[in-house]
Amino acid sequence: MEISSKEMEVRPNTIADVKVDASFRRIPKNAICFHVWKIDEDRLEAEPKAQYGTFVDDCAYIIYAAAAAGTYVNQDTITREVKPSVNLERFIHFWLGENVSEQKRSNVAHKIQELDSYFNNVAVEYRETQGNESARFLSYFKKGITIKCGQHLNSAEQNRLYQVYGRKWLRCIEMPTISWEHFGADFVMLLATANHLYVWIGRSSSNVERRNAIELANKWQKDNTKLTIVDDGYEQSMPEKRKNEWNTFLPLSQRSVCQNSPIPEKPICNKLKIYKCCYRNNRLHLDQLDVVIPTREDFSDSSTAYVLDGFAQGIWLWVGSQASQQDKTNAMGNGRAFVKKKKYPYSTPVIRVVEGHEPAEFIRLFPSWHGDCNELQMKPSSTILGKFDSMTLCQRPKMAAETQLIDDGSGERKIFRITKDQVIEMPTTKAVYFTTLNSYVVQYTVVSWSMNPNDSESVGIKQIIYQWNGSEASTEITNKAENFAKNLFDTANQKTMFVQMSEYDETPHFLQMFEGKLIILLSERSLPHNNNNNNNNHIISNGLNGHDSESLVLKVFGDSTYNAKAVEVFPLSSMSAKECFVVKSQHVWVWCGQSSTGDARELAKNIGALLGESSLVLEGKEPKEFWRSVTNLMNQSLIMNGVNHSPNTSSNGSSSIGTASPINSNGSSCGTTLQYLGSCSPPSVKPRFQAQLFAVWNLRNKFFSEEILGYDQTDLSPECMYVLDAGIITYVWLGKYVSSHEKVKYMNMAQNYLETVPIARRPTTAIGVIHQNDEPNVFKGFFNSWNTGMWNNYINYEQKRQMVSSGQSVITNGTGNGVALPVNGVNGKLPPSILNNQKDFDRHQKYPIVMLQQEIDLLPEEVNPLKREVHLTHDDFVSLFNMSFYEFDELPAWKQQELKKKHKLF
């Protein structure tokens, strides 16, 4: 791909000797700080702190944020200088309003070059556009952002219309005109007149959006007598005086509300492409690299720049530390030229990073990245099991979160085996046998040895419901197991967490429960015949693929009780010096490779002891009897560290170990069992990364998410659902007031997240489900501090609305007496428009009467021809039937049908 200089937003050599603006020079170079400037024509104006978070749609802004590595700043950050030795992360954002002029875009591009040069050209640069701001940008403004209409700034007109939306980051956008065309069912609209403020509640808006909009309205209009709440479709129910004023601005005869939000959806792109920037004949060429999954090693040339194409997720420009000043200066312009060449949307984010200063958002796109910045944020799991006693873990939630150990695993457990036909409670045995064909549910009671109530509160839960699915379990079995587990979770009368996982993706605490004695078999052929507690378990003889049913070989994974398990392997095709195996035939053999650790050998010996009297065999010293035992478990010559081997290789019966390197870099085998090995690294060696928090929701059966950078507990709203991605497990946090139609879909939400997150994630990653106020220590430890009483006095949307309704002479549509009476209520009940129930009249899409009276083949797709009436607005329903829907719904079926025929709705 070739890019000419004409296509660049910033052209080469436009700034030969950068002169830094005086406003920038006032910033201490070694300081944690946050600053905002506005580009007004050709001037740079520092914004006062009181205006942070307020923007004008025909202006451009520059935001500079500096924080200690791994920490975050926001609009409330106070500037403080730090020692030169402190590693600071620097970010420069330039924000472009949707009506900004070409001149201002050019001016801001030059100004960021000045600011960047002041900080030695190492800052991360973000190009932001209105409505498409990055997660980092939005995270600076915890209270949300307000965007004013530039054409109204100097107007004497007081009447204004605003769109309000955003589950996490509230956006309040001033509209250029007061018109129905700006209304949407997904929005809350604020109509501000000279005397009153109207809050119009879109039926598809969320409760948290409604709550935040009412709070915003209360800030603007402190006199509750001048605040009116209007429900979507109930406009005719306003008191006559208010309705007359509303009609002067928004005639109800012209009412038209868009059912689907015009906010563009960002397509998900998990396939990243890398291009290397090269200059040939003084023209920039982008040469695409042949990579499937990008790695850090793909950026092999520090003297040039690379383009990482993530489409809607952003175009990243990575500039090598040895690259020329021109490459660093022109990177953003080259990124914009790339966007134009690929015909991507104008709003596509463009971000420039410099080698050695990559932010977390960039690093996590590469699962194998191991940079210094990464190390600061990714603590390895400790391997000293002795420290992980229940007392320590309940007192130190950060250690619990780091290790993902809730307690020491010694609590009481009940295990249920789920088969196609039944649920069987398994007896208690020293060894626990699972098969890949079934699912299992474990009901575990958490241990807290402390008598201190505060320690017990720190643990957070009393019980865990685990669901484990074998890799070969049928969908019917896994669904049955999920229903059984969820029923235990939903009906629990104590603080409980639900964790769903698959074979290969077990969590540390799950494995810790079995103390390294979990044995996963390929079929029920190998299940123990007797269920007593002795160590000599006999094997059922059902046969598997014709090999001796009394024989089996187990590969032992892990080196500690919280990452260990034994897995049956058949056929045995390879053995490496780093591995340990247990072979059971007429005798039990424990084979340990020369490079295996002492801890791994001890775990293997424990497994061997469970199967009977065992003998330890070290690599290179195997007796003939050992090779005779494994012969019938092989379907080919055994591979030992890359060298073919058979039992007759040497005259003394010992194995001939070659000096060739292992088959792959991690020493795992490449035979039939590789599908297990490739995905079953013990938890302690999986890449650990900084946990990420996302607000998640479903709207019209589509999944949406917003990331929250620099999160803390205050970012969790009881009216929302969140995903905390901790790498080895993905937590779903359910707020107390999450809508009922979202709450039942929590497993789907987690799966949607795993499938759409723009980094490589396994769809079988373990999922933990947590209710508000039932947070375990392994979850709370990801937050800097945790206040168990934070939500004790939380006021949700319904409560807040009723409080507003009961204010002095406050007007809420349908009532005017200033007391907390039902709003458009029926029989003393609050209307469903307030309760926000998925199954009620107000949750259906609404259409004009004439559209619903059409022939069946002309009706909108989601309209049931036999239930057209539920797609009318309340006002239209009353105008046709002279009664509310709730009165109509109580009529006999024959009477309903008669009325619908009369009005051509049947």
Q: Which of the four pLDDT bands, split at 50, 70 and 90, describes residue 745?
A: confident
- What is the reported pLDDT for 271? 74
Q: Which of the four pLDDT bands, split at 50, 70 and 90, describes residue 666?
A: very low
Helix H or strand E encompassing 254 = none
Has residue 467 got a pLDDT over 90? Answer: yes
Fold (topology level) of 273-364: Severin (3.40.20)
Q: Which of the four pLDDT bands, split at 50, 70 and 90, describes residue 431?
A: confident
For the sheet with 518-521, list strands across it.
432-435, 518-521, 565-568, 552-557, 580-584, 588-592, 614-618
Q: Which of the four pLDDT bands, split at 50, 70 and 90, describes residue 11?
A: very low
**CB of 549 within 8 A of CB of 543?**
yes
Which positions ≥6 away from 347 have C-beta within 8 Å?
129, 131, 132, 264
Beta strand 413-418 with 439-445 is antiparallel
**b/e per residue 880-897 (b: at least 16 CB within 10 A):** bbeebbbebeeeeeeebe
Q: Which amino acid is at 781?
A: G
- What is the reported pLDDT for 460? 87
The whole-number average pLDDT for the span 438-456 is: 80
DSSP three-state, residue 277? strand
Which positions ≥6 away from 511 have C-beta within 8 Å?
518, 558, 561, 562, 563, 564, 565, 683
Domain 552-632 carries which CATH code? 3.40.20.10
- What is the reported pLDDT for 708? 94
Domain 24-142, classified CATH 3.40.50.2300, yes or no: no
Has residue 717 got a pLDDT over 90? Answer: yes
Has residue 191 got a pLDDT over 50? Answer: yes
Q: Which of the four pLDDT bands, split at 50, 70 and 90, describes residue 574?
A: confident
- What is the reported pLDDT for 642? 53
- What is the reported pLDDT for 545? 43
CA distance from start to end of the chain: 59
pLDDT in tens, 599-640: 999 999 999 999 989 999 999 999 988 888 887 777 556 666
Which positions ≥6 away from 761 have C-beta within 8 Å?
725, 754
- What is the reported pLDDT for 709? 93
Beta strand 124-129 with 350-354 is antiparallel
Has residue 208 got a pLDDT over 60? Answer: yes
Has residue 273 got a pLDDT over 60? Answer: yes
Flag the least confident range among 5-19, 30-44, 153-167, 859-873: 5-19
Beta strand 283-288 with 273-280 is antiparallel
Neighbours of 209 (CB within 10 A): 25
Closest listed residue to residue 552, CA positions, set 565, 566, 564: 566
Length of the chain: 906
DSSP three-state, residue 756? helix
Q: How far apart are CA 504 and CA 436, in angstroms?
A: 11
- What is the reported pLDDT for 825? 37
Q: Which amino acid is at 740?
A: S
Flag the least confident range among 319-323, 674-678, 726-730: 674-678
CA pseudo-torsion sign 106, 110, 111, 112: positive
Name beta bridge partners: 812. 229, 815
Domain 156-254 carries which CATH code? 3.40.20.10
- What is the reported pLDDT for 453? 66
**CB of 641 within 8 A of CB of 662?**
yes
Whole-number percent of the chain with pLDDT over 90: 53
Helix H or strand E encompassing 822 = none
CA pseudo-torsion sign 174, 176, 178, 182: negative
Q: How far apart are CA 183 and CA 259, in angstroms?
A: 9
Neighbours of 155 (CB within 10 A): 10
Mean pLDDT is highest, among 126-130, 325-329, 655-659, for 126-130
Half-sphere exposure of 447 (CA within 13 A, CB side): 18
Has residue 719 got a pLDDT over 70? Answer: yes
Closest listed residue to residue 255, CA positions, set 208, 206, 189, 196: 189
Mean pLDDT is highest, among 151-155, 296-300, 589-593, for 589-593
pLDDT in tens, 97-134: 999 999 999 899 889 999 999 999 999 999 999 999 99
What superfamily would CATH give domain 849-903? Villin headpiece domain (1.10.950.10)
Crossing angle for the helix pair 102-118 and 325-341, nearest 10 degrees?
150
DSSP string, 633-673: T-SSPEEETTEEE-TTSSTTS------SPPSSTT----STT
In the chain, list all ranges with CATH 3.40.20.10.
24-142, 156-254, 273-364, 388-525+699-785+795-807, 552-632
Q: Which residue has the higher pLDDT, 861 or 714?
A: 714
Has residue 546 got a pLDDT over 60? Answer: no
Q: Is the bond preceding residue 623 a cis peptide, omega within 30 degrees?
A: no
Closest listed residue to residue 825, CA positions, set 800, 849, 802: 802
- For domain 388-525+699-785+795-807, which CATH number applies: 3.30.70.20, 3.40.50.300, 3.40.20.10, 3.40.50.1110? 3.40.20.10
Half-sphere exposure of 8 (CA within 13 A, CB side): 20
- What is the reported pLDDT for 226? 85
Question: What is the signed CA dihedral for 280, 281, 282, 286, rounded to 10 degrees?
Answer: -30
**CB of 477 within 8 A of CB of 439?**
yes
Beta strand 638-640 with 574-575 is parallel
For the sheet with 574-575, list strands across it.
574-575, 638-640, 643-645
Average pLDDT of the chain, as a whole number: 82
In the chain, list all ranges with CATH 1.10.950.10.
849-903
Q: Which of the four pLDDT bands, split at 50, 70 and 90, describes residue 540?
A: very low
Mean pLDDT is highest, among 311-325, 472-486, 675-689, 884-898, for 472-486
Has residue 386 got a pLDDT over 90? Answer: no
Q: Which residue has the higher pLDDT, 871 or 539?
A: 871
- What is the reported pLDDT for 727? 86
State pTM to two decimals: 0.85
Q: What tokens does 246 get?
A: 């509303």
Which positions ≥6 away from 659 have C-beta within 8 Å?
none
Q: How far apart are CA 419 and CA 404, in angstroms?
A: 29
Whole-number percent of the chain with pLDDT over 70: 81
Closest listed residue to residue 63, CA positions, set 15, 95, 108: 95
Q: How far apart are CA 71 and CA 73, in angstroms?
A: 7
Has residue 836 got a pLDDT over 70? Answer: no
Has residue 48 got a pLDDT over 90? Answer: yes
- What is the reported pLDDT for 398? 87
Neighbours of 135 (CB within 10 A): 17
- What is the reported pLDDT for 456? 66
Q: What tokens does 813 get?
A: 């549509």
Q: Which of the four pLDDT bands, split at 50, 70 and 90, describes residue 651?
A: very low
Q: The tokens 């949707």 sit on which residue?
A: 98
Burial class of residue 83 in the structure, from the number of CB atoms within 10 Å of its CB (0-12 exposed, 13-18 middle, 19+ buried): exposed
Beta strand 315-319 with 463-469 is unpaired
- What is the reported pLDDT for 232? 92
DSSP three-state, residue 527? coil
pLDDT in tens, 757-810: 766 678 889 999 999 999 999 999 999 889 999 999 999 998 888 877 776 333
- What is the reported pLDDT for 821? 34
Q: What DSSP designation does 596 have?
A: -
Closest listed residue to residue 118, CA positions, set 36, 14, 21, 34: 21
Flag the least confident range among 464-473, 477-486, 524-533, 782-791: 524-533
For the sheet with 439-445, list strands across it.
423-426, 413-418, 439-445, 463-469, 496-502, 766-771, 729-734, 721-725, 692-699, 702-708
Q: How far apart are CA 601 and CA 606, in angstroms?
A: 9
**CB of 581 within 8 A of CB of 554?**
yes
The whole-number average pLDDT for the span 22-32 is: 92
**CB of 240 within 8 A of CB of 748?**
no
Has residue 690 got a pLDDT over 90? Answer: no
Has residue 270 got a pLDDT over 90? Answer: no
Closest listed residue to residue 259, CA positions, set 867, 856, 873, 865: 873
DSSP string, 833-891: HHHT-TTSGGGS----HHHHTS-GGGS-TT--GGGGGGGS-HHHHHHHHSS-HHHHTTS
pLDDT in tens, 336-365: 999 999 898 888 999 999 999 999 889 888
Q: Which of the four pLDDT bands, split at 50, 70 and 90, describes residue 222?
A: confident
